[in-house]
Amino acid sequence: MEGAADALSLEVAGLRAAFADIDGAIEKRRPIVVFARKPSDDADALRRFLAPLLARGDDRSDWQAMRDSWRLRHFSTCFGLVDKSGYRWRIEETEAHISVTFEPGDQPA
């Protein structure tokens, strides 16, 4: 979560109420960080969901297939919104949290 001073930072538990903020951040091409504090059920679920991506170390996985089996549907909706908007993403995991940072790709034409 470091280096994202202008990022919209959202805890997994609060995503449902934050879709307007997500849309606004995408419109302004701001980075978005979605995280879950450890230890928590949300962090465990996020870790399980991201396990295939952590193992691959790239962003080519089919997130839609993983979404169907994951209980945090609001996060997958967020993931879909930023994917459609051309954002890149990266995963960070520490002792205290696990997070996904979404950053705008090239500006749309």
Query: Mind listing the pLDDT tens digit for each residue in 62-96?
Result: 665 555 555 456 677 777 888 888 888 888 999 99
How is residue 51 written in tokens?
């396990």
Strands (E) in 1-109, as ranges, are 8-11, 32-37, 87-93, 97-104
1 in any annotated domain: no
Rounded CA-CA distance 79/96 in Å is: 22
Rounded CA-CA distance 61/21 in Å is: 26
Q: What percent of the chain has pLDDT over 90?
A: 9
Domain that holds residue 65: 8-104
Strands (E) in 3-96, as ranges, are 8-11, 32-37, 87-93
109 in any annotated domain: no
Q: What percent of the chain has pLDDT over 70?
A: 72
Asked if residues 49 and 66 have their Cβ atoms less than 8 Å apart, the reply is: yes
The count of structural domains within the chain is: 1
Q: Which residue has the higher pLDDT, 65 or 48?
A: 48
